[in-house]
Structure 1
Amino acid sequence: MRETDKVLIVGGGIGGLCASIALRRQGIDVDLVELKSEWTVYGVGIIQQSNVVREMARLGVLDEYLQAAYAFEDVAIYNLEGKQLVRIPGQRLAGPDYPANIGISRLALHNVLSETAISRGVQVRLGLSVERLEQDAEGVDVIFTDGTSGRYSLVVGADGVYSKVRSMLFGDRYQPRYTGQAVWRYNFPRHPSIDHLASYQGAAGNAGLVPLAEDLMYMFSTSHEPGNPRMEPSQLAELMRERISAIGGLVGELREQITDSSQVVYKPMEVVFVNEPWFKGRVLLIGDAAHATTPHLGQGAGMAIEDALVLSHELVGEGSMEARLRRFMDRRFERCRYISEKSILAGDKEMAHDHTFDRIGLVKEMLEVTAQPI
């Protein structure tokens, strides 16, 4: 078996799919297993900032979903009355022919990624996960939950914040932590003024509006929810309206349109960061399995996508598998830790109602950091 002959990816979310596509582009055989028997998608939309647009162009999928997305350039921050405080120009990191930023529905993105992966020869099996891993110097023997088996050069755990692969590597050392906050999301017809990412910030609350298509946008808001209470599903619309009751401007105008509780996507924020190498032998973690963070900087999925591209580059490089994975860690660890820590910091400052916190400065800093080559 060559050093990288065949790879197993555990988890069919954004990170796992991008990794499978990137590895196939390098000529590596890929199996992907996903625990869900029906490949459903959680959530409403996703922001792909300039660094992510750059990587998706390198992945070769950006052209395929631009028509299903909304391209925009700038990020603007407003106060709670709707007065613009700053407008931050976007950077076209993927080149002049591509936009700085993209908003896209998670369903549209999933459809493009899953169809691309399958068309490029990724062997996908749904309703399946790993039961046991046994590795030696040459590869990993995998027993799946249906009793079948396989042997791989590398196993990649892209199975999310509650990663089973992470528990196989580290036991219970790294457990998801509830931050004290939750995020609320709701879709609307796109308002003509929302041709950019609009973020509304203040001590009494926050919200954002993100364009997803010519006729679609979504609102998000984060709230302090001590004790991680269970929310009654039938009351989600009313509760979301309450959480943004202090916000005026366009958000205030839209508030009373939040009426369908079944369309409110509510999610408590849970974080985890593996503060040591994300691999042991020939088993590696990427994405939320290694560094799940909060959505305050809009980079959680972006870091998973970057993981996927960097992994594909390093696996075809020189040296042993350990050397390649150490190079991967050298390129990813500090960058992901920065996003994780700064995102959590922003949430902590929201909960503390810290009027001195420079949220605008943090956003500008993050954009400068992520614009740097990986």
Structure 2
Amino acid sequence: MSTSPAVLVVGGGASGCAVTVLLRRAGVAVDLIEAKEDWNATAGSGITLQGNALRVLRELGVWEHVKESGFGFDSVGITAPDGTVLHVNRDIRTGGDDLPATMGMQRPQLQRVLTDAVRASGATVRLGTRADTFEQDDEGVTVRFGDGSTGRYDLVVAADGLGSATRAAIGVTDKPEPTGMAIWRIAAPRPAGVTRTDLAYGGPAYIAGYCPTSDTTLYAYVVEAHRDRASIPPETHADEMRRLASAYGGCWPEITEHITDPAKVNYTWFDRLLVEGAWHRGRVVLVGDAAHCCPPTLAQGAAMSLEDAWVLAGLLTSGRAWDDALFQEYYERRIPRVRAVVEASVQLGQWQLDGVRDADVPGLMGRTMTMLRELP
């Protein structure tokens, strides 16, 4: 490795931004490329960040911005479909007692906080840019970009998401698989009484829930069995989500009034991915959704991606050689924790798909979240 290492980060989502900021803080030269011309173009409606995600965001130096932009809370309510509150559970503070258990945020706000941090770090950013080929030798990687230019790097970090082209290009054959569920999401004004996540089980959907994302906003979602996406024209998305949401009481009637614009409704299948074996091939390393993803039943997708970035950056800046042993240690530190989250997230959904009424949902969630209090 050269005395002044250079890293290419492919993808400008949470894990890509996080690893860029952490490496730049240690003086590593980083180029970040993002295929989209507009970093925030498809940032989505809302996101639930558990405490262990907030812990990494604090390490990035952006916690104060996150706190100002989001809505923190420490409990989750379980309701009947008519809105009757059946139980309120105090959440485990997985990031430590000095951070909220949960923070709701508008996704574009989180993305803006992260991209601002990347730009402030001094990294070179190229939007609308893809990496086409990776030619490796013992010293590094030569990357050819979509515009015909090339670059030479000591390491490539593949943070290009669930459909990672980099993962496929380096010969990792694992692909995401649908779990059988899908989710409708929308951002909406926050009713004054919404100060935590409430989840309704039953009714026409498996789950109907919402999460406050600021003093004035929330995002709402309903989860159902997945359908052929081609059978749901985009112009009907608001009608479909409103039809499902209108069966729920409590705060839902006020929320449902705002489900009118199909362009603001997001419909997504739940997927599962866990790359088995090493998460690297030579000097190309996978992080985040490129290596693993899970249904949002535990709200741990972003947290796992951010933790990947934290662990990998810590190893890369430890003074050790960037070799197979280091990259394998990264995998071995991450895989037990990520596997537990992926399997628990999938199991929670599968119990609903199978109609299991005596499933130990509280036990599984409690064990998993307690494990996540430990540092990754």
TM-score by length of 2: 0.93
Report the AA paired with residue 283 of structure 1.
Answer: V
Q: Is residue 37 of structure 1 aligned with residue 37 of structure 2?
A: yes
SS of the equivalent of 1:188 reads: strand
For residues 3-42 of structure 1, the C-alpha deviation after alignment (integer angstroms, 9 at most, x for no partner) is 7711111011111111111111222111111111222233
Contact 1:187 1:217 in 2 (8 A): yes
- Residue 73 of structure 1: CA displacement? 1.9
Among 353, 356, 362, the alignment partner of 1:354 is: 356
Separation of aligned partners in 1, 2:358 and 2:28: 50
Contact 2:94 2:372 in 1 (8 A): no
Separation of aligned partners in 1, 2:170 and 2:242: 42
**What is the aligned partner in structure 2 of residue 68 from structure 1?**
69
Alignment of structure 1 residues 192-271 onto 2, 5 Å: 192-202=192-202, 204-205=204-205, 206-271=207-272
Report the AA paired with residue 374 of structure 2.
Answer: Q
Q: Is residue 289 of structure 1 aligned with residue 290 of structure 2?
A: yes
Report the AA paired with residue 2 of structure 1.
Answer: S
Q: Is residue 48 of structure 1 aligned with residue 56 of structure 2?
A: no
For residues 166-194 of structure 1, the C-alpha deviation after alignment (integer angstroms, 9 at most, x for no partner) is 101225x2222222221111222212222
- Residue 297 of structure 1: CA displacement? 1.0
Report the AA paired with residue 193 of structure 2.
Answer: S
For residues 86-108 of structure 1, the C-alpha deviation after alignment (integer angstroms, 9 at most, x for no partner) is 33324455555543321111111
Separation of aligned partners in 2, 1:282 and 1:310: 17
Separation of aligned partners in 2, 1:362 and 1:42: 30
Alignment of structure 1 residues 259-338 onto 2, 5 Å: 259-317=260-318, 318-338=320-340
For residues 271-306 of structure 1, the C-alpha deviation after alignment (integer angstroms, 9 at most, x for no partner) is 322111110111111111110221111111111001
Separation of aligned partners in 2, 1:229 and 1:344: 24
Moved more, 38-47 or 357-366: 357-366
The runs of 5 or more residues in structure 1 that have no matched partner are none
SS of the equivalent of 1:338 reads: helix
Contact 2:182 2:223 in 1 (8 A): yes
Separation of aligned partners in 2, 1:200 and 1:230: 26
**What is the aligned partner in structure 2 of residue 138 from structure 1?**
139
SS of the equivalent of 1:60 reads: coil
Contact 1:4 1:153 in 2 (8 A): no
Sort the Cα spacing of 1:268 and 1:142 in 2 relative to 1 into closer, same or farther, 3 A: same
Question: How many equivalent residue pairs?
Answer: 373
**What is the aligned partner in structure 2 of residue 20 from structure 1?**
20
- Residue 165 of structure 1: CA displacement? 0.7
Alignment of structure 1 residues 43-192 onto 2, 5 Å: 43-92=44-93, 94=95, 97-170=98-171, 173-192=173-192
SS of the equivalent of 2:104 reads: strand
Separation of aligned partners in 1, 2:25 and 2:102: 24
- Residue 83 of structure 1: CA displacement? 3.2
Contact 2:46 2:106 in 1 (8 A): yes
Separation of aligned partners in 2, 1:304 and 1:43: 17
TM-score by length of 1: 0.93
Separation of aligned partners in 1, 2:16 and 2:212: 25
What percent of counterpart residues are identical?
35
Separation of aligned partners in 1, 2:292 and 2:335: 9
Sort the Cα spacing of 1:242 and 1:203 in 2 relative to 1 into closer, same or farther, 3 A: closer
- Residue 353 of structure 1: CA displacement? 2.3
Sort the Cα spacing of 1:138 and 1:38 in 2 relative to 1 into closer, same or farther, 3 A: same
Contact 1:53 1:93 in 2 (8 A): no
**What is the aligned partner in structure 1 of residue 372 from structure 2?**
370
Separation of aligned partners in 2, 1:366 and 1:82: 28
SS of the equivalent of 2:372 reads: helix
Separation of aligned partners in 2, 1:89 and 1:255: 27
SS of the equivalent of 1:42 reads: coil
Separation of aligned partners in 2, 1:255 and 1:355: 29
Report the AA paired with residue 178 of structure 1.
Answer: P
SS of the equivalent of 1:161 reads: coil
Separation of aligned partners in 2, 1:231 and 1:204: 17
Separation of aligned partners in 2, 1:201 and 1:369: 25
Sort the Cα spacing of 1:364 and 1:92 in 2 relative to 1 into closer, same or farther, 3 A: closer
- Residue 354 of structure 1: CA displacement? 2.0
- Residue 313 of structure 1: CA displacement? 0.5
Sort the Cα spacing of 1:218 and 1:189 in 2 relative to 1 into closer, same or farther, 3 A: same
Sort the Cα spacing of 1:176 and 1:304 in 2 relative to 1 into closer, same or farther, 3 A: same
Contact 2:203 2:247 in 1 (8 A): no
Contact 1:180 1:227 in 2 (8 A): no
SS of the equivalent of 2:276 reads: coil
**What is the aligned partner in structure 2 of residue 9 from structure 1?**
9
